[in-house]
């Protein structure tokens, strides 16, 4: 009986160890917070889809992953591990915020992680862990979603080569793929990097299972931007099979759409077409979150649709601290211009001012201040009139009305 109990305990321990070894881990490294030790039993475990939503929110590209926000536990995970945004943040707070560095560490042994002291930082587990091929593809997609003007036109191989290099400038959010814990430790040893960046590191576990293409271990589906110069661009979706029991729906339009890009770790499932020509000045909203700076003049014109037809791109500044070959050396932005239209045949004109990263927002500050000043003046006038009437009504009347005035005396 004792032998049977011992065998069951050993088997249970073996299964628990295998499950732990098969889990990936996400570490949030922020030097502005105090590191703390955490018991492994208290470590939260998220599904790959929930973990992807947390990573996307920390990378600032959650708009491309909004389809899965309603899944159970996703919002709780984002509230727990996502970037905390103050409700009443002003422009100074936005400029003071730390940049984000998303680091993927491929196939690190648990003993190496423990030796690196990463367990002292906030973290959560991802189980079952997607294979490193799928994780590598997710990192490439996050980079393309965050900076379509830089990575959007690159193939996955070219983007992987760029992400394998260390960042040469510290003025933008960045993505990096590391091959070892030692390389991550080397990053953390640079004081300038730890002061500038909040580092989100996903460590994939080692093992042959990491090479599997089993769809149940993939990250799920999400939208992808397109920065092609064609007049008809597409909003693509990469996906892998999710670990659910229902049969997948077939999309007949996907097989006939030649603009899809297939990958060894994903499969396209749907497409929506929208106009995004370089010279397109339609009033349809621009997809995604526009960056504050563009690396080149052409990237600025393509992404902003030539500033929505309300201005032109120009070089705002040059970062002299970056190398000559850096993509982040030059900063191109939109310079908005006023639009003047004739309103009648007698020569009347209407001037419209524009603002925003792509000059896509109408400037209504003049109308706002006119309405605000008129409202304040009208309230003041009403208050003055009511006060005057109230003051007049509060004055005392004379004790004898008509005192000193007498009628004619009677004649006898």
**pLDDT tens track for 321-363:** 777 777 777 899 999 998 888 777 677 788 888 888 888 888 8
Structure tokens at 172: 């933008």
Residue 3 is assigned to a structural domain of this protein: no
Residue 174 is assigned to a structural domain of this protein: yes
164 and 20 inside one domain: yes
Among the ranges given (35-39, 103-107, 273-277, 391-395), the one the predictor scored with the smallest mean pLDDT:
273-277
What residues does 174 pair with on adjacent strands? Answer: 101
Is residue 32 pLDDT above 90, yes or no? no
pTM listed for this prediction: 0.52
Domain of residue 196, residue span: 16-86+96-225
Match 């018991």 to its residue by tokens.
Answer: 39
Compute how many other C-beta atoms are within 10 angstroms of the C-beta atom of residue 216.
13
Residue 393 is assigned to a structural domain of this protein: no
Residue percentage of the chain with pLDDT more than 90: 12
288 and 211 inside one domain: no
321 and 198 inside one domain: no
Distance CA 188, CA 398 (A): 89
Distance CA 288, CA 396 (A): 70
Residue 202 is assigned to a structural domain of this protein: yes
213 and 352 inside one domain: no
The predicted-structure confidence for 123-171, as pLDDT tens digits, reads as follows: 899 988 888 788 889 999 999 998 888 888 888 888 888 888 877 666 6
215 and 339 inside one domain: no
132 and 25 inside one domain: yes
Structure confidence at residue 83 (pLDDT)? 86
73 and 187 inside one domain: yes
Which of 26, 80, 12 is closest to 55 using CA atoms? 26
Residue 24 is assigned to a structural domain of this protein: yes
Distance CA 306, CA 236 (A): 23
179 and 30 inside one domain: yes
Distance CA 146, CA 169 (A): 16
297 and 203 inside one domain: no
197 and 303 inside one domain: no
Chain centroid offset of residue 153 CA: 20
Q: Are 217 and 129 in contact (CB under 8 A)?
A: yes
Structure confidence at residue 376 (pLDDT)? 95
Number of domains within the chain: 2
Structure confidence at residue 270 (pLDDT)? 34
201 and 324 inside one domain: no
Residue 293 is assigned to a structural domain of this protein: yes
Structure confidence at residue 269 (pLDDT)? 34
300 and 217 inside one domain: no
Residue 340 is assigned to a structural domain of this protein: yes
Q: Are 198 and 118 in contact (CB under 8 A)?
A: no
Is residue 314 pLDDT above 60, yes or no? yes
Is residue 230 pLDDT above 80, yes or no? no
Residue 377 is assigned to a structural domain of this protein: no
Structure confidence at residue 386 (pLDDT)? 92
Q: Model confidence at 215, in pLDDT bands (50, 70, 90)?
A: very low
Scored b (16 or more CB within 10 A) or e, 107-141 reads: bbebebbeebebbebbbbbbbbbbbbbbbbbbbbb
Evaluated on CA atoms 216, 221, 224, 230, the torsion sign reads positive
Count, residues in the chain: 412
What is the pLDDT of the chain when averaged over all its residues? Answer: 73
Q: Model confidence at 120, in pLDDT bands (50, 70, 90)?
A: confident
């Amino acid at each position: 009986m004792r032998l049977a109990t011992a065998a069951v305990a050993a088997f249970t321990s073996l299964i628990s160890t295998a499950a732990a070894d098969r889990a990936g881990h996400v570490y949030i490294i922020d030097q502005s917070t105090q590191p703390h030790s955490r018991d492994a039993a208290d470590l939260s475990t998220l599904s790959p889809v929930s973990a992807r939503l947390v990573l996307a929110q920390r990378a600032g590209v959650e708009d491309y992953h909004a389809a899965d926000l309603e899944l159970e536990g996703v919002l709780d995970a984002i509230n727990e591990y996502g970037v905390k945004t103050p409700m009443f943040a002003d422009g100074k707070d936005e400029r003071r915020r730390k940049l984000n560095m998303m680091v993927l560490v491929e196939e690190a042994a648990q003993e190496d992680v423990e030796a690196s002291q990463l367990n002292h930082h906030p973290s959560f587990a991802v189980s079952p862990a997607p294979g490193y091929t799928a994780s590598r593809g997710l990192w490439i997609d996050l980079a393309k979603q965050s900076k379509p003007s830089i990575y959007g036109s690159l193939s996955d191989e070219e983007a992987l080569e760029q992400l394998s290099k260390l960042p040469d400038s510290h003025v933008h959010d960045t993505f990096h793929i590391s091959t070892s814990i030692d390389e991550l430790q080397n990053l953390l040893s640079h004081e300038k990097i730890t002061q500038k960046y909040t580092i989100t590191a996903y460590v994939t576990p080692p093992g042959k299972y990491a090479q599997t293409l089993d769809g149940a271990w993939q990250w799920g589906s999400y939208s992808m931007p397109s920065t092609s110069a064609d007049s008809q661009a597409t909003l693509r979706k990469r996906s892998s099979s999710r670990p659910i029991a229902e049969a997948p729906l077939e999309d007949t339009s996907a097989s006939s759409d030649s603009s899809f890009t297939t990958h060894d770790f994903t499969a396209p499932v749907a497409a929506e077409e929208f106009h995004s020509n370089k010279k397109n000045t339609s009033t349809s909203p621009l997809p995604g979150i526009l960056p504050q700076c563009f690396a080149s003049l052409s990237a600025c014109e393509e992404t902003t649709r030539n500033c929505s037809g309300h201005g032109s791109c120009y070089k705002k500044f040059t970062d002299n601290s970056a190398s000559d070959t850096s993509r982040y050396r030059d900063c191109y932005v939109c310079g908005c211009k006023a639009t003047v239209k004739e309103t009648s045949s007698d020569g009347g004109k209407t001037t419209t001012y524009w603002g925003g990263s792509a000059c896509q927002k109408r400037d209504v500050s003049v109308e706002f201040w006119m309405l605000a000043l008129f409202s304040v003046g009208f309230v003041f006038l009403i208050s003055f009139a009511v006060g005057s009437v109230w003051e007049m009504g509060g004055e005392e009347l004379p004790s004898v009305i008509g005192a000193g005035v007498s009628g004619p005396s009677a004649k006898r």
